[in-house]
Structure 1
């Protein structure tokens, strides 16, 4: 029979507060002796049940969850208790999405071949004590980073004070997280900190060191959960980042890389490796994002497989790109598919040059009353209408939707990603109608489509790394619905019995 280890000492015991809940393990029945459960095993189990019952009855309007490592859990509940990651994998968290102020990245000059800045950000509480930070939401970035006083070499004046790390927060170069980030690069063995540098498509960069600290997230039930995560302590920003982060404190990395936030939480058994975002159709309205799988709609989703690649981006393959019923990639080789990347870190959508030029030709054909205005540098292609235009609503009926057609499901069910005119047209200060789709060749994407956040508006987009798929459905993005895995009548019956 296994011997129970002593409980934590007074210094090691966590403070129990009114309404606290602990995620605990279940008995390991494989370790039981043939003569049945021991008295000490039943005593430990009964103690755990009584603690949970008392805490449930004294429940607060929120509950504070701590996630313990296996060795701490063993000391809390005895060696006969094993850590169960499944017990902590049912959490899902909601975060708000806020649009940046009007005018931030509203246009890009025709001569500028750079990705525009990210347009939506969220708020996260990080550190101990926890402090709020605004982070740009970027599905094309691995590492989350925050401007950091380490001290800072090049930082913008963000909305909050710089994050101040302590020596104990620094990640050592021999840490597995550091080795995962740096790969096979040879960094000095004598360094005491794990350094990083990220280069972006617009030739800007962020450099710093890795830090590990606590993070607070809130569930839809107003439960506050605290968990550790690793992020970049950024003290040297270069290029466009020195301007683009002025309204935020850093970037939230949501790619499918090992260092991204969803993957870190999934590896701790806190969530399924799933997240989603819902950007409202109105660019001035707020939306939401979620971590975990409890907010995925049961019906109506269109799913496509994620194409695996070395860049850790969310990409898939499309067969056709249509403007209305007209195919734009008419000269494509038979059987050749075009790669599509979903990137919330880009404001605009990018097409390969052939598709881009065919789209412009189609727009000119269907709008004979509009004249190409080279003097308008809001975007590379702008047209002057023959009547006053104040908003996209005044002209959207004159244009047709863009359609990305994917391989049919089961060879029968069509799968289409539709971009409505209001999601690819922009009205300039001159009152011109400008195309919010750019030539991807100018940023090095000769054969790749990039779907930016302007084209993601009005949709709930889900990235399911567990099933290696991503999907979307039309949504007003005003109220997230938590999908219950228990029928409503049974859920109510269980709730009444527990009360």
Structure 2
């Protein structure tokens, strides 16, 4: 344990950007349950949205023949900016449930483990390695050397790791292998897949975490990510609306993440046309999935974006980030276009009127009739379209507009961030089926009713 604490100190003193690599083989097609982090807790919309804007869960830094699936449910721990979608699997023998944030912006798969020197509160019991007959500490080998911060005293010792994220979250623990159980069911599903994977058993964990999660499932390009360990050439997910997920009806608040198998574009829950754009790489951030953003339109107005902002290595799609963030000058141009077209008073220095509680900047005052007559049609908001290479991503209204009619507030859910990078977060990916074709480096997407996906499979 002293090695773990020393690694934690090393990471806290390190440069702010850490990159992960990883490794692993396996085969099959895996499906896992996907839920929102606050599903079933009955939070009201204003409660769900009341969070800080500082959250960024990005890491700075044998072919499958049948798909592997896990159910995923989303849920903010209380707000848009910490909107999280959790992959539900089980670990160990006998299997113990874990709930891991689906993060395409990092690589390591890890969960909190006993004994815990410093852990964030979680609703599920801590994973106890001593209670699993299939748990095995990983010896010092290639997987250990692939991590940016790892410690091996000699070849016969086990691998201690430290892994940190752009929001200052940190996990320190022991790399190990154990049996992961995937399947859409409730433990009674005979089709569940059981695979041995390398993961981080975290004994020292700090940062921005919610009680509904137990760790993070990295879906990045590195060797220790879940897609890489399963050796799949495709994976896909469909995030049900965060507001559907906050209800107590789990049948309408979850869907699946599927790893492996051929990309299928004929799902019944898809309600629009499929579009495809290239997935690009950037050697300086090898784990991330880059897209070529050509422009942004608000309604029929093409926002003028400076040419340097449109480089193909400055936009990423990241399921572990919440709100889509734009470089500050781009955000101001988009904001000006909405202000010019919405036709409602912009709330400035909102104070206690509700907009500031949502931690959003681009908010408008709704007329009194919106509170008195909630059944009236919602105010018209211009369409938001991201023009990608070969594709136009027209974001559904629920993916960028939030209304609190009781408070007479309507907000456009976008944010600004310093630097050049644009991040397409999971709030804008709601009710969109997204397919990553890793063999051909293509991203396909289509509007969908993701809450219906569980009923289809």
TM above 0.5:
yes
Given candidates 319, 322, 344, the residue that maps to 2:319 is 344
Between 399-408 and 389-398, report the one with greater CA deviation: 389-398
Q: Where do residues 47-86 of structure 1 align in structure 2 (5 Å cutoff)? A: none
Given candidates 320, 332, 337, the residue that maps to 2:307 is 332
SS class of match (1:125)? strand
Deviations 1:156-211 (A, max 9, x none): 232222112249611112x221122248x775437822122222222222221111
Distance 1:356 1:319, change over 3 A: same
Distance 1:368 1:474, change over 3 A: closer
CA shift, 1:232, in A, is 0.7
The number of equivalent residue pairs is 374
Q: Distance in 2 between matches of 1:154 and 1:393?
A: 48
Residue 223 (str. 1) matches residue 203 (str. 2): no
Unmatched 5+ residue regions in structure 1? 1-84, 267-271, 409-414, 484-499
Structure 1 match to 2:144 = 178
Q: Where do residues 412-451 of structure 1 align in structure 2 (5 Å cutoff)? A: 415-428=391-404, 430-441=407-418, 446-451=419-424
SS class of match (1:264)? helix
Q: Distance in 1 between matches of 2:425 and 2:310?
A: 26
Distance 1:214 1:328, change over 3 A: same
Structure 1 match to 2:36 = 99
Given candidates 432, 437, 443, the residue that maps to 1:459 is 432
Q: Distance in 2 between matches of 1:282 and 1:229?
A: 30
Q: Retained in 1: the 8 A contact 2:254–2:454? A: no
Structure 1 match to 2:19 = none
Q: Distance in 2 between matches of 1:341 and 1:302?
A: 17
Q: Retained in 1: the 8 A contact 2:293–2:311? A: no
Q: Distance in 1 between matches of 2:110 and 2:35?
A: 18
Q: Distance in 1 between matches of 2:382 and 2:91?
A: 45
Structure 1 match to 2:106 = 141
Provide the alpha-carbon RMSD of the alignment.
Answer: 3.1
Q: Distance in 2 between matches of 1:426 and 1:335?
A: 28
SS class of match (1:364)? helix
SS class of match (1:363)? helix
Q: Retained in 2: the 8 A contact 1:393–1:422? A: no
Q: Retained in 2: the 8 A contact 1:209–1:233? A: yes
Structure 2 match to 1:37 = none
SS class of match (2:368)? coil
Q: Distance in 2 between matches of 1:476 and 1:352?
A: 30
CA shift, 1:227, in A, is 1.3
Q: Distance in 1 between matches of 2:29 and 2:321?
A: 26
Q: Distance in 2 between matches of 1:335 and 1:452?
A: 18
Structure 2 match to 1:356 = 331
Q: Distance in 2 between matches of 1:279 and 1:388?
A: 32
Q: Where do residues 239-258 of structure 1 align in structure 2 (5 Å cutoff)? A: 239-240=207-208, 244-258=209-223
Relative contact order (alpha carbons < 8 A, sep ≥ 6): 1 or 2 greater? 2
Residue 403 (str. 1) matches residue 385 (str. 2): yes
Q: Distance in 2 between matches of 1:452 and 1:177?
A: 29
Given candidates 328, 342, 366, the residue that maps to 1:385 is 366
CA shift, 1:440, in A, is 2.1
CA shift, 1:426, in A, is 1.9
Structure 1 match to 2:171 = 206
Unmatched 5+ residue regions in structure 2? 1-24, 58-80, 245-252, 268-272
Given candidates 155, 165, 189, the residue that maps to 2:129 is 165
Q: Distance in 1 between matches of 2:165 and 2:266?
A: 36
Q: TM-score, normalised by structure 2?
A: 0.73
Q: Distance in 2 between matches of 1:140 and 1:330?
A: 25
SS class of match (2:288)? coil
Distance 1:181 1:395, change over 3 A: farther
Deviations 1:293-337 (A, max 9, x none): 246215953222211123411111111111122122433259745
Q: Retained in 1: the 8 A contact 2:255–2:454? A: no
Q: Distance in 1 between matches of 2:427 and 2:442?
A: 22
Q: Retained in 1: the 8 A contact 2:323–2:426? A: yes
Q: Where do residues 298-309 of structure 1 align in structure 2 (5 Å cutoff)? A: 300-309=273-282
Q: Distance in 1 between matches of 2:280 and 2:158?
A: 34
Structure 2 match to 1:132 = 97
Structure 2 match to 1:15 = none
Residue 476 (str. 1) matches residue 456 (str. 2): no
SS class of match (1:330)? coil
